[in-house]
Amino acid sequence: MIVLPDSLDATPTAPALRLLHRVESEGMMPPRVFRLNGCTFAILSENDQRTVVTIPPNALVTIVLGDIAGDGFIKIRYRQKVLVMLALDLRSRGERILHEQQSA
> What is residue 44's predicted lDDT score, i.e. its pLDDT?
96
pLDDT tens digits along 80-103: 999 999 999 999 999 998 865 555
> What is residue 70's predicted lDDT score, i.e. its pLDDT?
87
> What is residue 71's predicted lDDT score, i.e. its pLDDT?
87
The pTM assigned to this predicted structure is 0.65
Contact of 63 with 76, CB cutoff 8 Å: yes
What class does CATH assign to 6-98?
Answer: mainly beta
Check pLDDT > 70 for residue 33: yes
Angle at 99 between CA 34 and CA 53, to 5 degrees: 25
Kindly indicate the confidence band of residue 104, based on its pLDDT and cuts at 50, 70 and 90: very low
Which residues 6+ apart lie within 8 Å of 96 measured at CB?
Answer: 32, 33, 34
Residue extents of the structural domains in the chain: 6-98
